Amino acid sequence: MQTTLTKALVTLLFCAASLAALAQSTGRIEGTYQDAKTQEGIFGGTVRLENTAIAGPTDDKGHYVLPNVPPPPSAASWSPIIPSSVR
């Protein structure tokens, strides 16, 4: 009886630890922002995950990475960096 109870307790603890690990997992979103006509990457923009503080710049090839993205996935938006003299 005690062996069965011990096995059940170990199984329960293992399942609880697995669920806790899954609940805390994060992912990342990466991609390339490109010009629709030329397919060239667009430099100098910011990709932002809506309703969060997560954002990242595009590099010289238009590539971006947003690390530590919590589930569920959210919508992303892009905005160019506009020089203050243009505003």
pLDDT at 79: 77
pLDDT of 87 strictly over 80: no
pLDDT of 75 strictly over 60: yes
**Residue in this structure with the two tokens 């160019």, named with its chain if needed:** 80
Taking the C-alpha atoms of residue 87 and residue 78, their distance in angstroms, rounded to an integer, is 18
Q: How confident is the model at residue 86 (pLDDT cuts 50, 70, 90)?
A: very low
Over the stretch 21-66, which tens digit does the pLDDT of each residue have? 555 578 888 999 898 899 999 898 898 888 888 899 999 999 999 9
Do the beta carbons of residue 26 and residue 7 sit within 8 Å? Answer: no
Sequence-distant contacts of 14-18: CB under 8 A, at least 24 apart: none
Instruction: Quote the radius of gyration of the chain (alpha carbons, Å).
Output: 22
